[in-house]
């Protein structure tokens, strides 16, 4: 197994890498298209805004590389949002491999945005990525934009309204939460991804 972390400047790269090491997997950090194409599993981590995130991928010549991958690909946090078609954040065109648009989370009295902290996960589709996910399992979130629930939703959560906590479209999957900060639940889902 050759797992790579796409070096797109995400500040969560170190913690994702450490979480994989705890599972016995040493993932190479790279922006080299050849190494990414040759990997068995590709993880696109990310923290920050959609516009700068896509700009880093474009500057590194990775947009078409990522769109063309056929092996399992996992986007984490911003990385999941970048898999979608568009984001309202900076009105950004994204990778377009998941048929969804990213929307700003609506605020309301007593409802804080960004959504930060632990929240309940609810599996909405049977998928190898979500194997072993139990009712009332929780994960750790930090985000102001979210993917609405749709046919691509594997796991949902709720913050004022339902949103996609995990998505899947073919070989492309994403987790809005931080699996590397979500204790045993996050470790299980990362283990599931590595077993694909």
- Domains of the chain by residue range: 3-194
CATH number of 3-194: 3.40.50.880
CA atoms within 13 A on the CB side of 168: 16
Give pLDDT tens digits for 75-118: 999 999 999 999 999 999 999 999 999 999 998 888 999 999 99
Give pLDDT tens digits for 25-70: 999 999 999 999 999 999 999 888 999 999 999 999 999 999 999 9
Of 41, 115, 159, 178, which one is the catalytic site residue? Answer: 178
Is 185 in contact with 121 (CB distance < 8 Å)?
yes
Q: Check if 180 is active-site.
A: yes
- Which conformational region is residue 183 in: left (phi greater than 0), alpha (psi within -120 to 50 degrees), or beta? left
Backbone angles phi, psi at 190, to 5 degrees: -65, -40
pTM of the model as a whole: 0.96
Q: Check if 178 is active-site.
A: yes
Of 41, 77, 89, 159, which one is the catalytic site residue? Answer: 77
Q: Check if 77 is active-site.
A: yes
């Amino acid at each position: 197994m050759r797992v790579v972390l796409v070096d797109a400047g995400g500040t969560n790269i170190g913690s994702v890498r450490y979480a994989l090491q705890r599972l016995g997997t040493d993932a190479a950090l790279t922006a080299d298209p050849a190494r990414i194409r040759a990997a068995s599993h590709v993880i696109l981590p990310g923290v920050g805004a959609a516009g700068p995130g896509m700009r880093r991928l474009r500057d590194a010549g990775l947009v078409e590389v990522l769109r063309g991958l056929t092996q399992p690909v996992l986007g984490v946090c911003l990385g999941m949002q970048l898999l979608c078609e568009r984001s309202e954040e900076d009105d950004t065109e994204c990778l377009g491999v998941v048929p969804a648009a990213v929307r700003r989370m609506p605020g309301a009295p007593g409802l804080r945005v960004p959504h930060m902290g632990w929240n309940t996960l609810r599996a909405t589709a049977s998928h190898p990525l979500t194997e072993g996910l139990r009712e009332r399992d929780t994960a750790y979130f930090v985000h102001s934009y979210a993917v609405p629930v749709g046919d691509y939703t594997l796991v949902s959560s709720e913050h004022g309204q339902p949103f996609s906590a995990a998505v899947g479209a073919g070989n492309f999957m994403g987790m809005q939460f931080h699996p590397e900060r979500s204790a045993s639940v996050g470790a299980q889902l990362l283990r599931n991804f590595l077993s694909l």
